[in-house]
Structure 1
Amino acid sequence: MVYRSNNTAGKGGMAFILSLTLSEQVRQLEAPLIARINHIALIFNEIKAILDADQDKKLSEEDRANLKIISDNIDALRDSYEPFIDDPEARQTADSKRKKCEKLLDLTRYYLLFLVEKHKLCDISTLKHISGVSWENEE
């Protein structure tokens, strides 16, 4: 397997780790809410570490505001999470609270993916590499 990564060049190993974590999102969709909250927090920390380490690029006010929103959302999700939300027997009782958490989780995921795309923190070649897709003949 050939590996080359164009957009993540110079971003170090964290770009590869972030790509791994992002690719796991699909498997997390049906996971318990607490697992998805923790997964989003992990993605946030990886993105923040990459952006903080990039000394050549000063973050815009918009980026700093988005990072603050994400951090606040993760705090709110963790503060509002209660184990009964993930209990299958309490689905009806927990439905309203779970839906509120899901909406905030979706919004937080959007902000994270926006930053990934805006700053080109991972690219298709890295994702293909970690998924084992052969792409030797692609440009």
Structure 2
Amino acid sequence: MQTSDKKFLGLPYLLAEALRSQIYNIDSSLRAKISLVALIYSITAAVAEKEKLPEEDKKLMEEIRKDISTVRGTYEPILDDPENVNISDERRRSIEEALDITRLQLMTIIHKHELITESMIKEIQGSRWL
């Protein structure tokens, strides 16, 4: 590991793994997607706290937290029931669009502040295929 990567041990590695999981679980239940975005938020917030984010990014993180809470509050198990697709399709789409925006905001902060490294991503991608 390079010297510059030493500050990225621990939680940032878990963050990289959670982001990878997001990619490979794209067809999972809505509940699982919400939980994974919440996990990514939690790890990002913990890592970002150590990095001392500027005030505007701290405000964005607080908005993201509120958005996740709202999405969780609107989720109902019927939204994952294939037998009720006609009833739940519009609400499901609305929640998925909110999750898309939240993921973009989180990834923007992660990238902007280099909260994970390229070497971590390569290691996780490589270990996935071993």
TM-score, normalisation: structure 2? 0.90
How far residue 130 of structure 1 moved from its aligned partner, in angstroms, is 1.4
Instruction: Please show how residues 60-139 of structure 1 align to structure 2 within 5 Å.
Output: 60-132=54-126
Name which of 41, 46, 49 aligns with 1:49. 46
| Distance in 1, Cα, partners of 2:5 & 2:35 | 25
Larger relative contact order (CA 8 Å, sep ≥ 6) = 1
RMSD over aligned Cα atoms:
1.6
Unpaired runs of 5+ in structure 2? none
Q: Is the 8 A contact 1:33 1:85 kept in 2?
A: yes
Aligned residue for 1:136? Answer: none
Deviation at 1:61, TM superposition (A): 2.2
- How many residue pairs get aligned? The number is 127
Shift of 1:9: 3.1
Shift of 1:115: 0.7
* Structure 2 residue corresponding to 1:38, chosen from 25, 35, 45: 35
Question: Cα offset for 1:18?
Answer: 0.8
State the Cα deviation string for residues 47-67 of structure 1 (Å, max 9, x = none).
11011123xxx3222201210
Sequence identity (%): 32
Per-residue CA shift, 1:59-104, capped at 9, x if unaligned? 2222012101110110011000000000001111101110110110
Cα distance change, pair 122–6 in 1 and its aligned pair in 2 (3 A): farther
Measure how far apart 1:6 and its partner are. 6.6
CA distance in 2, matches of 1:27, 1:61: 33
